[in-house]
Amino acid sequence: MRTFNLIPNLLTTSLATLVLATSALAQEPPADGPTTPTAAFMKELDKNGDGQVSVDEIKTPQQQRFTETDANGDGAISTEEASEAFAKQAPPEMMAEMKKRGMPDPGETFVQNLDTDKNGQVSADEFMQPALDSFGRMDANSDGVASAEEATAFFDELQQEMQRRMEEMQQQHGDMAAPPAQQ
């Protein structure tokens, strides 16, 4: 299963992240690996094995990903750094197809989406925020940890939201492709 570690977290709910996460999760799982989004989430993040994921367990890999992506170590991720990270993680044919279709550079999109102070870079706090926001949504009872049950409910909600958005996009595409009605 291919994951895109630059994206702040599988938990972010932007459409692009949902598409990438769903396509990664839809691939045939390895025989010895997790078979559900919740199982993958727990396997990757429940480092102390208590059957729950804490906010600290969410933050640690995010901090590592930020440091890896901040190639020059200046405490911020530039468009160039984000673009390089995406190019290293995404299959070359995917990047070529995106370019062919005139899609924006994923590094530019990444910075535009996360740069809340609009300084042209993504700080560590900006990078972390989508994961924290999603964790807050996942932690339904606000006890500071996400249980497997909460994670399952959250991932089910994400799947339903993505399905709804895909249907909307298909409807819009169908509307645009349909010939104008004759009068």
pLDDT at residue 28 in the model = 46
Distance of alpha carbon 23 from alpha carbon 152, whole angstroms: 18
Average pLDDT in the chain: 82
pLDDT at residue 23 in the model = 36
pLDDT at residue 138 in the model = 95
Sorted by sequence, the CB contacts under 8 Å of residue 71 that are 6+ apart come out as 81, 84
All structural domains of the chain: 15-151 (1.10.238.10)
pLDDT at residue 182 in the model = 62
At 35, is the pLDDT very low, low, confident or very high (cuts 50, 70, 90)? confident
Helix axis angle for 55-69 and 79-89, nearest 10°, is 100
pTM: 0.71
pLDDT, tens digit, 9 for 90 and up, residues 50-84: 999 999 999 999 999 999 999 999 999 999 999 99
Q: Mean of the pLDDT values across residues 86-105? A: 90
pLDDT at residue 174 in the model = 75
Q: Which of 20, 8, 1 is nearest to 113 (CA)?
A: 8
First to last CA, the chain: 51
Distance of alpha carbon 19 from alpha carbon 21, whole angstroms: 6
Q: Would you list the DSSP string of 83-115?
A: HHHHHHHS-HHHHHHHHHTTPPPHHHHHHHHH-
At 5, is the pLDDT very low, low, confident or very high (cuts 50, 70, 90)? very low
Give me the percent of the chain exceeding a pLDDT of 90: 63
pLDDT at residue 179 in the model = 63
